Structure 1
C-alpha cells in the first residue's frame, strides 16, 4: 500500500503560469479513487475533469467487473467453449497483457477465479474445511491462460466453465485510463490512485518531485506506518502483500494469494512487493505475480527482466529488504 506525502501548492519555475492544485475523489471498483493534479487555473476552468473521469471509470467497471451481471467479463464467463466473443478495445488490452504476464511469470493467472472461490476468497462464504487434493487437481486442470484464444475476431475459451477475473490488472488499467485522459486534456503533473495503486507524472509546484511512502507491512493492526519513501518520477506504482486478507481454519492461516500451479495459498517469507512500471496495469499484475513467487524467485525474475522491484521479507531477525538494480535510482 502507498500513500503520498503532504503536498504544497504554489508557483512553478520562474516564468511559468501559477499552478493550481485540484483534488478529485470518488468510488470505483469496490474501492475509492483519489486524484491530485496541478495545472494553470484558467486551463482547468475549461475542463469537466471529474465528470469525464467518472464516465471513464464507469466504462471500465461495466466492462471488467464480475459484480455487474451484464458486464463484458461476465458475458464471456457464461460463454461455452469454442464460441468466439467480439470484445471491446479496453477488454482486449487487459486480456492481452494478462495473458502475456501469465505466460511470463507462471504465477499470475486471470482464469483462477473458481480456485479463489474454492478457498473462500470470492463472493461466497469461506469454506468450513480445506479443499481436498482431488478438488484442487480437478480445478487446476481446468484453468490456465493457455486455454484462452485471443485473435482479431475476439476471445474464446477451450474448456467449458473457464472464467476470467481481472482483480490483479483491472484496477491498474483504470488508473492508466484516467492518466491517459488527463494527458489528453493537457495535464502533465498528476497523481492518480485507485485502491492504493498509483500512476504519477511530472512534478509538484516548484519543480519538486512526487514523494511516495511505502507502508510498513508489520505495523500494528489499524495503524499505518511509513517503511520508507521513494521518488518514482513518472511511473505506475503498485504493491502487493499477504498481510491484509487472510483467515484461520483448523489452526492454519490461509492468505488470498494462491499459486495457480499448486492450487495452494502461498506460505513464504515475502510480505510486500513494490513494482514500478510505466503502465499501472502492468505494475499491478507484476506485484501480485512476484508476491506469489516468493523472495528468491521474485529476485531472479526482477533481475532477468530488468524490473524496478522492492521486496520486504520476514526473517527471524526482523524485516529484510531487497532493491533490484533497476529500482535503486528511485530510492
Structure 2
C-alpha cells in the first residue's frame, strides 16, 4: 500500500489523520520536531485502537527549518499537511505568526513537488473563510475568503495568508502537483492526550468550572474523526483536486447551545458548566486585556454559520451528529482528568 506523509503527527488532528490512514491500510510517515516524541505518537495511536508497528515511521522535520523535508517526503504518494507553527506566547506582531505559517506551508509544498508527490491536502481553517465580513444571513461557503485587512486576530490572518500562498504556489510553480484544502470549524471529539485544540480547551474549561460565563458567539463544530475522514477523501477522490472543503457538522451553535448539550447529556458531571452568557459589551471589554478572548474578538456577537454542502455533494462526506460529538468530548475530557 502507498505511503503517506502526515505533518505534525503528535498533534490532535494529526494523530486522528494517522489513525484513519493506518486503518485504511496505508503506510504512514509522520513528522515531529523532536524524535523524543515518537513514544508519545505511538501511545496516542494505541489509545485510538491501533498498534502502528512498522506501518508507521516517525521522522524529524521542523516547519521553520529546511532540514529533513526532502527525506521526509521522499517516496510518498501524498502528503497531509496538518501541522501549523505554534507560539508559546502571545505574538508581539502579526508577522510573528503569519510569516512562519506561510514559510512552513511553502517548505512542505516545495519538498512535495520535488519528490513527485501526486497530491497535498492542507489543513486550513474556517478562520481563512469567515472573518472580517459584514454580518450576513447566509452561510459561508468555500467561495468566501477572510478579509485580512479587517480587524482580525493573527491566527485567522496567518491561516488565510498561508492558504492563499499554497494556492498561488500550486498555480504558478506546482508543475502538476495537486492541492486540496480542508477548512474545519471548531474541532471536537475524543482526546488521545492532553494536547488540546482551542475548541477542546473551551469544553474543558466549562467542565472544570474555570469558565465563569459563556462568550457570546456562534460557529460550526465538527468531530475530529470526521475531519480526518474528509482528509482521506480529499486525498483519494479525483473530484477533490483543486477544491476547498469546509468541514462542519451542521448549522452553527452559540456557546450557550454547546453548554446546554453538555448539561443535558452528562447530567451531574456537567454541574460546573456555566449557564450565564456574558453580555456582549463585557466580552468586548475582556477581549482588550485577555489574550484568549482577544483571538475571538472578531467573532463576538456574530454567527459564523457555514455549510459543508460541497464536501457532502462532491465526496459523499457524512459527518456524525454534533450533539453526540459534544457529549463524547465531555466524556473523554472527564476520563482524562481522573
TM-score, normalised with respect to structure 1:
0.30
Q: Which has the higher strand share?
A: 1
Please tell me whether Structure 1 or Structure 2 has the larger radius of gyration of its CA atoms: 1
